[in-house]
C-alpha cells in the first residue's frame, strides 16, 4: 500500500499538537459505523421472538437506523466544517455508547427501536473519516485513499454477521450490542490519542453553513455522483433489508449459517476497494464508477436469471452477491471522491449530504424489500428491486460523464 501523503506535507501539527489521523484510525472509525449496521442481522428472528412481536417490526431496526443516519449526515457535515472533525467525532462516539446501552436493556420492541435510531449517531465515524481524507488529498488520490480506507472497513462487515450469529447462539442477541459498546469505548480512546484536526474551521455560523447547501444542490455533477453511489449502494441496502428473511424463511438457515453466508457481498467489497485503491489514480474516478455500477448490475441480473430458471439455491443467491460487493467497492469510493471534489471548500458538508442521499435511499429500499417479501414470493421481488436500482446507478454516472464532456472537463 502506498503511504498516505497529505497535500502539503507528510504530517502537519494541529493547534493541539496532535497530528492528522493515521489510516488505521480512519479504517476503524468507518468499520465501527458499518458494524453497527449489520452485526445483529442474523439475530432478527430471535429478537422477534424475544420481544414477542412481528418480524416486519423488528426489520425496521435496519430501515429506521438508515433513515436517521441519513438525516444526521445532513447536519454532521456543516457542524464539522464549523467546529472541526475531532470534537464532533468524540461527542458522537459518546452518544453512541449511551444509545447502545439503551438497546441492550430495552424492555419492549418499541423502546429498542428508539435506541436503535439513536445509535445512528455513529454516522460521525464514516462521514468525518471520509471528509478527513478529502481534507488531506486531491481528488484522484483521495479516491485511491478512500479505496484503501473502505477496503479495510470491508473486513469488519465481512466477518460481522458471522460473529453476530455465533454470539447469538452462544450468549443471546444482546451479546452483539455488548460488542458494539466495547468497540465504541475503544474508538473513543483511539480518537482522543490519534485524531488531530484535519480541517480549517470555516468560522461561519451554522446558519451560514446551511446556506451553502444550494451551491451543492444546484450542481448536476454533485447529483450525478451522489445518485450513482446511492443507486449502486441501493442494491446492497435492499439486500440488507431482505436477505435475512430470504436466508431464514426461504432457505431455512439458522443464525450461524445466515451470518456466514450473509457476508458474501463484503468479500467482493473488499476486493473492489482494493481495485479502487490500486487503480483510481490511473483510470480516474468516472471510469471506476462506471465499471463498478456495471458489475453491480451484472451480478444481480445473473442471480435473477438463475432464480427464474428454478436453479436458485442459498449458494447461488448469496454467491452472486459478491459481484454486488465488488461493484460497490469500485463505485462508492470514487463517486464519493467525485462528489466531495465538486466544491472542495465544502468537503464536510458534501460528505454529509452525499451520505444522506445514499442512506436515505437505502432506508427506503431496505424497508421496501422487507415489505415485498413473503414465503410465497421467495427471493424474486428482492432481486427485481436490486436490479432496477443497479441499472439506475449506471444511468446516473453516464449523466456525469456526458456533463463533463459538455463542460470540457
pLDDT at 251: 86
Most confident of 140-144, 168-172, 281-285, 385-389: 385-389
Share of the chain above pLDDT 90, in %: 24
For the chain, what are the domain ranges?
Answer: 23-197+205-407
Most confident of 143-147, 256-260, 390-394: 390-394
Is residue 217 packed enough to be buried (19+ CB in 10 Å), middle (13-18) or exposed (0-12)?
Answer: exposed
pLDDT at 138: 66
Position 303 confidence tier, pLDDT thresholds 50, 70, 90? very high
Residue 12 pLDDT greater than 50, yes or no: no
Q: What are phi and psi of 34, to 5 degrees?
A: -70, -40
What is the four-CA torsion angle of 30, 93, 90, 210, rounded to 10 degrees? 80
Mean pLDDT check: name the lowest of 35-49, 131-145, 294-308: 131-145
The string of DSSP codes covering 142-185 is HHHHHHHHHHHHHHHHHHHHHHHHHHHHHH-THHHHHHHHHHHH
Long-range pairs, 183-186, Cβ under 8 A, ≥24? 183/32, 183/35, 184/32, 184/93, 184/96, 184/97, 184/100, 184/122, 185/97
Position 11 confidence tier, pLDDT thresholds 50, 70, 90? very low
75-126 residue pLDDT tens: 887 787 777 788 888 999 999 999 999 999 999 989 999 999 999 998 888 7
Chain centroid to CA 146: 13
Position 10 confidence tier, pLDDT thresholds 50, 70, 90? very low
Beta strands in 254-388 (DSSP E): none
CB within 8 Å of 157: residues ≥ 6 apart: 31, 34, 35, 37, 38, 263, 266, 269
pLDDT at 392: 94
30-49 residue pLDDT tens: 888 778 877 888 888 888 88
- 291 versus 233: the higher-pLDDT residue is 291
189-239 residue pLDDT tens: 988 887 777 666 655 666 666 676 677 777 788 888 889 988 988 888 888
CATH match of 23-197+205-407 with 3.20.20.70: no
Amino acid at each position: 500500500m502506498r503511504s498516505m501523503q497529505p497535500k502539503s506535507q507528510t504530517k502537519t501539527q494541529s493547534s493541539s499538537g496532535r497530528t492528522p489521523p493515521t489510516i488505521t484510525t480512519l479504517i476503524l472509525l468507518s468499520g465501527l459505523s458499518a458494524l453497527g449496521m449489520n452485526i445483529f442481522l442474523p439475530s432478527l428472528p430471535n429478537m422477534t421472538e424475544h420481544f414477542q412481536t412481528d418480524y416486519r417490526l423488528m426489520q425496521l431496526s435496519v430501515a429506521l437506523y438508515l433513515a436517521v443516519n441519513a438525516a444526521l449526515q445532513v447536519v454532521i457535515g456543516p457542524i464539522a466544517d464549523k467546529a472541526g472533525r475531532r470534537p464532533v467525532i468524540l461527542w458522537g462516539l459518546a452518544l453512541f455508547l449511551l444509545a447502545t446501552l439503551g438497546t441492550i436493556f430495552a424492555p419492549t420492541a418499541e423502546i429498542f427501536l428508539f435506541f436503535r435510531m439513536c445509535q445512528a449517531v455513529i454516522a460521525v465515524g464514516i462521514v468525518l473519516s471520509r471528509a478527513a481524507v478529502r481534507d488531506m488529498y486531491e481528488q484522484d488520490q483521495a479516491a485511491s485513499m478512500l479505496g484503501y480506507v473502505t477496503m479495510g472497513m470491508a473486513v469488519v462487515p465481512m466477518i460481522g454477521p458471522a460473529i453476530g450469529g455465533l454470539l447469538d447462539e452462544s450468549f443471546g442477541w444482546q451479546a452483539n450490542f455488548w460488542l458494539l459498546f466495547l468497540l465504541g469505548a475503544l474508538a473513543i480512546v483511539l480518537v482522543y490519542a490519534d485524531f488531530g484536526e484535519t480541517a480549517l474551521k470555516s468560522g461561519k455560523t451554522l446558519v451560514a453553513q446551511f446556506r451553502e447547501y444550494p451551491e451543492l444542490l444546484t450542481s448536476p455533477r454533485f447529483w450525478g455522483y451522489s445518485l450513482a453511489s446511492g443507486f449502486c449502494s441501493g442494491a446492497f441496502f435492499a439486500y440488507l433489508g431482505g436477505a435475512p428473511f430470504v436466508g431464514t424463511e426461504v432457505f431455512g438457515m439458522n443464525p450461524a449459517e445466515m451470518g456466514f453466508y450473509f457476508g458474501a457481498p463484503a468479500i467482493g467489497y473488499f476486493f473492489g476497494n482494493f481495485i479502487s485503491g490500486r487503480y483510481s489514480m490511473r483510470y480516474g474516478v468516472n471510469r471506476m464508477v462506471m465499471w463498478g455500477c456495471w458489475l453491480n448490475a451484472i451480478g444481480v441480473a445473473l442471480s435473477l436469471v438463475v432464480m427464474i430458471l428454478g436453479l436458485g439455491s442459498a449458494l447461488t443467491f448469496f454467491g452472486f452477491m459478491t459481484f454486488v460487493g465488488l461493484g460497490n467497492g469500485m463505485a462508492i469510493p470514487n463517486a464519493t471522491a467525485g462528489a466531495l471534489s465538486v466544491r472542495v471548500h465544502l468537503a464536510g458538508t458534501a460528505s454529509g449530504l452525499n451520505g444522506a442521499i445514499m442512506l436515505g435511499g437505502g432506508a427506503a429500499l431496505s424497508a421496501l424489500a422487507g415489505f415485498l417479501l413473503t414465503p410465497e414470493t421467495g427471493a424474486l421481488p428482492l432481486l427485481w428491486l436490486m436490479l432496477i436500482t443497479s441499472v439506475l446507478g449506471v444511468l446516473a454516472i453516464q449523466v456525469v460523464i456526458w456533463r463533463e464532456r459538455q463542460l470540457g472537463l
